[in-house]
Every structure is written in structure tokens, then in C-alpha cells.
Amino acid sequence: MKAFSKSLVVMACFFVSMHTVAQIRVTDYENRPIELSAPAQRIVALAPHIVENLFSVGAGKNIVGVVEYSDYPSEALNIKKVGGYGSVSVEAIVALRPDLVISWSSGYGNAFNQKLVALGLNVYI
């Protein structure tokens, strides 16, 4: 429950209070600093639970890419799929031009997340 609460607080910082913040700085679960110069408008969420959390903090309208089984709330069903449990398309993610990708280290692995970072994407793990 503690990790879930921390996730909601971090997401709220990214999407709710940042409308009054010029520079957004947070540290992700891998102790990497993430900086955004403006509120994220185009988000790719790489797990169904991430999608649910984003909707719960009011950022659902900013999600442009999700993975299979992202079915709650029902609005998530209409968002472009970039992959599923077994694989995710880096090309599909890049094509969506996200301001922010929210991933998880145990889901797709560190090598996958680092590939996204190497491509210049802001990745919160």
C-alpha cells in the first residue's frame, strides 16, 4: 500500500499541481532524476495499473498510449495500444511523441527502459 500511495503522490505532482510550476523535478523508483519543463501533455503508460492511477489523478485525458489489458476505466479502451505483456513496440511509443513514458522495472526490464531513455524520452520508472 505504501508504494501505491507514493505512486499517487508522484503522479499528482506531475499532473495536478504542476500547472503552477515552471520546472517539474522528481526522482523515480530507480533514483533517477526526471525533469519536465512543462506539464506532460502526451503520456504513454506501460501497465494497466499505471493507466488506472493516471485516471485517478485526473490525467487520463493526457494518455496517448497504453498496453493490452488497460481496460479501466472504460475510457482507456479507446487509447492506442503500443504492445502487451510479452512485448512493447518502441517504434509505436516513439511515433506517439510522448512528453513522458511511465514504466515499471519489473514489467519490461531495465534494458527496455534504458533503450527508451537512450532515445531521448522522459521515462519515469
DSSP H or E stretch at residue 102: strand 100-102
* Residue 3, C-alpha cell as written in the block: 508504494
17 confidence band (pLDDT: 50, 70, 90): very low
Instruction: Compute the C-alpha angle 48/50/53, nearest 5°.
Output: 115
Q: Is the pLDDT confidence value at 6 over 60?
A: no
Residues 6+ apart with CB under 8 A from 85: 67, 68, 69
18 confidence band (pLDDT: 50, 70, 90): very low
Q: What is the pLDDT of residue 109?
A: 79
Q: Are 51 and 70 in contact (CB under 8 A)?
A: yes
Instruction: Compute the C-alpha angle 123/45/116, nearest 5°.
Output: 35
